[in-house]
Structure formats: C-alpha cells, structure tokens
Structure 1
Amino acid sequence: MKIGILGAGHIGKALARLLAQAGHQVGISNSRGPDSLLDGTQTLRDLAYALGHGVKAFTNEDAARFGELVIETIPFGKYMELPAVQVESKIVIDTANYYPQRDGQIELGGLSQSAFIARHLPRARVVKAFNTIQSAHLESQGDTSRPLDDRRAIFIAGDDQEAKDVVTGLIEQIGFAAVDTGSLADSKVQEPGTPIYGPDLSARQAREALKQSQSQQG
C-alpha cells in the first residue's frame, strides 16, 4: 500500500520507519518541502534517506496525493494546513491531540477532537489512532510474535467500519493490537486527560480499562 504521512515529528518518523519495514511504500512530508531544514542541518530529504526502506520526501499536498491511505501527524492547531482536496475518499488516520497551551484556543463546538478534524476533511474517511502512545514506545514495543491479546494496545475510533478494519490491519502488521473505542464522537474517551490516554496496556487490559472508563462517563 502507498502511505502518505503528513508531518515529520516523532510519531510521523516512527510510523514511516515501521510501515516501510512492513513492506509499504511510504512518503513523509512537511509544509515546507523536501529540501527545507528540519533542525538546522538535516533536510526532510535527508531524514527520508536515513529512515531507509525507500521512504520518500514530499510536501504535504504531494504526500496526500501519493498515499492510498494518509496519516496526519501535524500539531492539532495547524489543522488548516491539512490538504482536504487531496485526501477525498481516502482513509485518513488522525493521530493529533489538542493541547490548548500549545495550539491556542480552538472552539470545538462540542465535537471530539477527531470529529472536528473530520469536519475539516468532510470527504475523507477519518480514523483516530496512534494518539495515546509515545513515539519511543511505538518504536520499541511492537512485537508480531506475541498473541494479539498480549500486544500493546493502540486505541482506534471511527465512523467507517471498513476504514477501521484497514487501520486495524496496519496496526497488527507493526506488532500492536487495535482496541476499538467506537465512533468519532466516542473518541473523546481516548483524548488527553482520560484514563486510557497514555498507560502501557495490553489489548486484554485495554478492553477492560475501556469498559471502566465508558461506565464512568456514562
């Protein structure tokens, strides 16, 4: 599968490496382009080369066009930079979390963070995933040799079951297990500040923790 990753931060880099290792064609991007400096010395093109496995460097728009599936990892406050036209009809994995102290005050209108992103991308098939795990854990804790119930859980949510099934497959390919929290509206249960945001849980543990969190919210 061709996968475009929007954003070259820690999560974006980790997913690019893992998914390329799993055999996918991966392109990673930022808004400034392949030859822009990331840290004063390294360009995005340099980063893509260092990630290996044929990872390519793109602008956000080109990565969105390239990907059959697109993963957005840019800070929540920059959601207006997401290329809505280029992701039409595509599965978009939303990894972002809203932190007002970083992103500024954004009126969500009562929506979950992912439902807000989906409103900006009205023709995309948005699935929330990879927002509750640290990049270092994403890099190190995947283990395809373990039974699914014993793997580190990745919480997912979405309104399109077929899209969630595709994302579940990707999660399993890189050694984790997907635990479904429900619709995009339900994804509030996996946002920052909730009981299941951050803990290192196996899939078995995560399902139990999710039940407890949902019952408390209910």
Structure 2
Amino acid sequence: MSYAIIGFGPIGQALASAFARNGIEVSVATTRDPESFTSAAAVIGPSIIPKKLADAVKADIVFLAVRFESHQDVAKALPTWQGKTIVDVTNAYGVPPERLGGQPSSKALAQAFTGGRLVKGFNHLGAAVLAQDPALHGGRRVVFLASDDHDATVEIGTLAETLGFAPIKLGGLSEGGLLLQARGNSWGQLIFKDLVKFD
C-alpha cells in the first residue's frame, strides 16, 4: 500500500508528522516544484518523500490537504481515480452552499475524482493539534470518518489506527459528512472537537 499527501501547508505537514512518527513512507506534493519544499519535508523525517504531483497521485491512498477551491486542479492530474481512496481533509469554509449545489462539501468534491472512493476525515482538528502525538493520557486522539463506501471507511480506519489515532465512523457523507464539513459561514458540529478515546 502506498500513500501520498497532496498539499504541504500546516495540515499537510501535520499529517506528514503522523506518518513520520510511525516510520511510514509517504509522498508529499503540491502544484509547485518539489525542490521548493524538500527542506521542510526533511525536517519532518526521512520517510517524507517530496514528489511531483503527477507522481504522487499514483499512490493507493491520497490525502487531499489543499484549499477546497484547489481540489479540481488535483483531480485533473489523473484521467480516472479508479482503484484509489481519497481522504478529503479539506474545509469549504467561505464557499457558498449554492456553489456546492446544496450538497455536503465532500459529495461536491467527490464528483471531481471520477472512479475514486472518498472518505471525509482528519479535517476536524487544527493543524497544531493534528501534528501532536495522538497518544494522550492513556487514550488515543479521535479522528472522525464519513464515507458512502464502507470498505474505504474500514481501510482508512485501519490506517488511522496504525498512525496512532482512534477512528470513529459516522456513516455516510449526507449524515456524518455534514457533522465534519465547513461551508458558507458555518462549521459542522464536530469541527474543532478534540476528543480522546479510552479503550
């Protein structure tokens, strides 16, 4: 299984830190030349591999950590996303609901990634919190997941556990996705909720 993070701002770097903590190799890419962020990747760890966007999107699981408005540019990097799982880490805050066709932001985004399986997740925590070790007080920091594809949810839930988080599945994008989305001037009810699960 191969992994990539598209977007290397604060959230992308926080996700990269989670992979680095566990010694898992992950490609990182932006629309810029990889040389422009090679030093930032090296600071996080040797398992963080800067690549060109066209190469990074070859991964099996792709974390989309770009501005919501940039998702279509990423989607165009491949003619089809068949066989890939996309983790939507974006927030559409400031994007008018009518621009989303009245849909949850993840459903609108999924339409650009033809053939891919989409999971909404890892977006409800701020970058500074997401970057921290998820092991807390004898428990694990929670990440919420929502998807219309059960198998994709299981796959990303297993990865979340490998990264040290406690995944909580919220159902489909029209139910759980609404709790995790930002759009217009509103935030979903679970955004910024920093919870710890004790097993």
TM-score band, normalised by shorter chain:
0.7 to 0.9
Q: Deviation of residue 57 (structure 1)? A: 0.8
Q: Deviation of residue 63 (structure 1)? A: 0.8
Contact 2:136 2:196 in 1 (8 A): no
Residue of structure 2 equivalent to 1:40: none
TM-aligned CA distance change 1:3 to 1:197, over 3 Å: same
TM-aligned CA distance change 1:50 to 1:104, over 3 Å: farther
Unaligned runs of 5+ in 1: 36-42, 205-218
Residue of structure 2 equivalent to 1:59: 52
Does residue 171 of the first structure (1) align with residue 140 of the second (2)?
A: no
* Counterpart among 39, 44, 47 of residue 40 in structure 2: 47
Residue of structure 1 equivalent to 2:191: 197
* Counterpart among 58, 63, 70 of residue 71 in structure 1: 63
Distance in 1 between residues matched to 2:78 and 2:106, nearest whole Å: 14
One-letter code aligned to 2:70: K
Distance in 2 between residues matched to 1:155 and 1:108, nearest whole Å: 22
Distance in 2 between residues matched to 1:86 and 1:28, nearest whole Å: 20
Does residue 4 of the first structure (1) align with residue 4 of the second (2)?
A: yes
Residue of structure 2 equivalent to 1:127: 119
Unaligned runs of 5+ in 2: none
Q: Deviation of residue 105 (structure 1)? A: 7.9
One-letter code aligned to 2:18: L
% identity of equivalent residues: 27
Contact 1:127 1:156 in 2 (8 A): yes
Distance in 1 between residues matched to 2:193 and 2:145, nearest whole Å: 15
CA deviations over 1:141-200 (Å, ceiling 9, x no partner): 401894xxx422111101111111111112112222111111122201222323211122
Contact 1:118 1:126 in 2 (8 A): yes
Distance in 1 between residues matched to 2:66 and 2:178, nearest whole Å: 19
Distance in 2 between residues matched to 1:165 and 1:195, nearest whole Å: 23
* Counterpart among 181, 185, 189 of residue 174 in structure 2: 185
TM-score (ref. length: structure 1)? 0.80
Distance in 2 between residues matched to 1:24 and 1:85, nearest whole Å: 28
Larger fraction in strand: 2
Q: Deviation of residue 61 (structure 1)? A: 2.0
Q: Deviation of residue 127 (structure 1)? A: 0.4
Q: Mean Cα displacement is larger for which, 76-85 or 24-33?
A: 76-85
Residue of structure 2 equivalent to 1:97: 91
Residue of structure 1 equivalent to 2:34: 34
Larger fraction in helix: 1
Does residue 154 of the first structure (1) align with residue 146 of the second (2)?
A: no
Greater relative CO, 1 or 2 (CA 8 Å, sep 6+): 2
Residue of structure 2 equivalent to 1:214: none
